[in-house]
Amino acid sequence: MLENFSFRTIVEYLPLFGQGLVTTVWLSAISFVGALIVGIVLCAMGLQRGWLFRAPAKAYIDAVRATPLLAQLYFLYFGLPRLGFVLPELVVGILALSLNSGAYIAEIIRAGILSIPRGQVEASVASGMTYVQRMRLVVLPQAFKVTIPPLLGQAIVLVKDSALLSLISVAELTRAGQLLASDRFMPAEGFLTIAAFYLLLYYGLKGLAVVSGRWLGTAGARA
């Protein structure tokens, strides 16, 4: 089997894979920051008592979770221009990943906040704390610790999802594999190499989860 495998070609294409890897990393990093912002805003809206904020946040989260990321991406890239908004592919890519991941992150943060025992909130109300004090001093510091591992898990999902951006002509890691597959008709070499690079990114993020877990004192933290 391996006699048909051309390591020489992989080495020849390494610079291309390297560029793709760099693009995947920075794209994912910006998108994750964007997703965090979207997630926090959505979560804050979802935790309000009044339906005016809660309903749109809920509808948005449901809409994003119910549709494939590919459909969302194609809508933003090929669909929006027909409605009069032409955005470059990198902007569309970051937007799609942020808007998509943000919906999941909103749910993660919400679960973290709701995991704080009700009694603690009642106790802080009883000791005369305001809403902001309660959040800042009691709820959020604990919720933060709980949400870190699933957030890193979501970051790993986002990195893998960024592969879809190859379909709108972004030269990221998966595109590098596709190029090798289509230039030299070597899909095994192309896709196995990008798999190895994604594995590398995965271990990087997992390592980050372990380190942050120790730092936060949540020993059993898993991403």
Partner 1 sequence: MKIARLFIAGLALAGLTAAASAGTLDEITKRGELRVAVQTQGPPFSLVGANGERTGSSVELAELMAKEMGVKIKFLDFDWDGLIPALLSGKADLLVADMTPTLARGMKVAFTTPYMYTGSTVFTKADSKFKTTEDCKAKGTKIAVLLGATGEKEAKTAFPDADIKSYKGGGPLLLDAVNNGQADCGVNDVSAVKGQSTAYPAGSFTIMPDLLSKEPLAFATRYDEPDLLVWMNLFLNQVTIDGRLQKNLDYWVNSDAWKKDH
Residues forming contacts to partner 1 in the complex (CB under 8 A) are 77-78, 81-82, 86, 88-89, 166-169, 175, 178-179, 181-185, 187
Nearer to partner 1, 85 or 131 (CB): 85
**CB of residue 169 vs partner 1: minimum separation in angstroms?**
4
Using an 8 Å Cβ cutoff, are 96 and 72 in contact?
yes
Nearer to partner 1, 63 or 86 (CB): 86
| Residues 205, 210, 214, 218, CA torsion sign | positive
Q: Looking only at Cα atoms, what is the longest distance across the chain?
A: 74
Nearer to partner 1, 85 or 203 (CB): 85
**CB of residue 106 vs partner 1: minimum separation in angstroms?**
30
**CB of residue 212 vs partner 1: minimum separation in angstroms?**
36
Using an 8 Å Cβ cutoff, are 5 and 181 in contact?
no
Nearest to 173 by CA among 62, 22, 34: 22
Nearer to partner 1, 75 or 144 (CB): 75
Contacts of 38 (CB under 8 A, 6+ apart): 98, 99, 101, 102, 103, 105, 106
**CB of residue 167 vs partner 1: minimum separation in angstroms?**
6
